[in-house]
Every structure is written in structure tokens, then in C-alpha cells.
Copies of this chain bind each other. A is one copy, B any other.
């Protein structure tokens, strides 16, 4: 039996999260690009054997750096080839109005993203649509959402860049970890 010395410092969680070294970063960078890579191959890539490699992956998952894994699907081939952004201004900026709008907007499947923004209007929405016809009916839904005063739409003509990954820096030395828990 250990004395259990209650040595809590100023940490949010009680589990100790150490800073990430360059191998962790390399694992994260690899996994965000090749999420289904075999552990054996991942280990090779980061110059580790299989066992410590999978230990690190498990740790990164447990500590929340990795939130999950997902397949990247071809949106055009699956009937979502059109994208549009909609700026939304609400008629009043009370928290009640905001809450109602948010609760309603997240329910719409075609709304891929909804960001509350500062700088002129209130919300910026990103829509995924099969075509421009579908846009009409979605816009009708959105202008009817609670609190919506006005909207402005920008239709995407061309996706120049669409990186989902984070630009993780792969340092040459392990002494300068770019992120911590």
C-alpha cells in the first residue's frame, strides 16, 4: 500500500498528460493522413517497434489528441457536389434568440458547419447540396429559422483547397514539443 500523497498541482484533469515529443507528432501526422495504416507499418514509419507504437497510439486516443477515425468520402459521387456559404444575421442578439437558432440549425443535415462569428453578421453556415435546385428549399428552411433577420449566400464555384488535416510541425529534435495537454 502506498501513502497516496495527494500531490495535485494546478492541472485540470487528475490524470497526468505529458508533452508530445516528435514521435507523437509523427504518429498524429501519419494517422491524420492514413488513418487505417497497420500498426506494424506505422511503427516502421516512426522508427519504432510495434509494441511501443501501439502504446503511444492508445495513449493519444485516451488523452483526447485523437478523437476518432473516419473515411474520407467523395462528396460529388455521393450526391453532394455543390457547396455554399450562407451568412446569417439575427434580428436580436439576446442569448435566447441565439440558443433557439443554434438548436434549430444543427438539426438540418445539409448544414455541414455553423460558426458564430464576429465582424459584421452573426453566423456563417456551410452547406452541402446535390445541386442548385436543392439550394432553394434549404434557403427557405434557413430564413424560417427562429430569429433570422437576413441572409446572404455565396455559392462555391471551385474548391481550390480543402485540407482537413492540421499542419503539424515535425521537428528535427525532440526537445521542443509544439503542444502539450
Contacts and interface: CB of A to CB of B under 8 A. Distances in A.
Interface stretch (A3-11, A43-51, A111-119, A140-148): A111-119
Interface string A66-84: 1111111111011110010
Interface residues of A, number: 64
A97 to B, nearest CB: 14
Interface of A: 28, 31-36, 64-75, 77-80, 83, 85, 102, 105-106, 109-121, 123-124, 128, 152-168, 178-179, 181
25 contacts: A31-B71, A32-B73, A33-B70, A34-B70, A35-B68, A35-B69, A65-B73, A65-B77, A66-B72, A67-B72, A69-B70, A69-B72, A77-B179, A79-B179, A105-B161, A110-B167, A111-B163, A113-B161, A115-B160, A116-B159, A117-B154, A118-B157, A123-B160, A128-B166, A128-B167
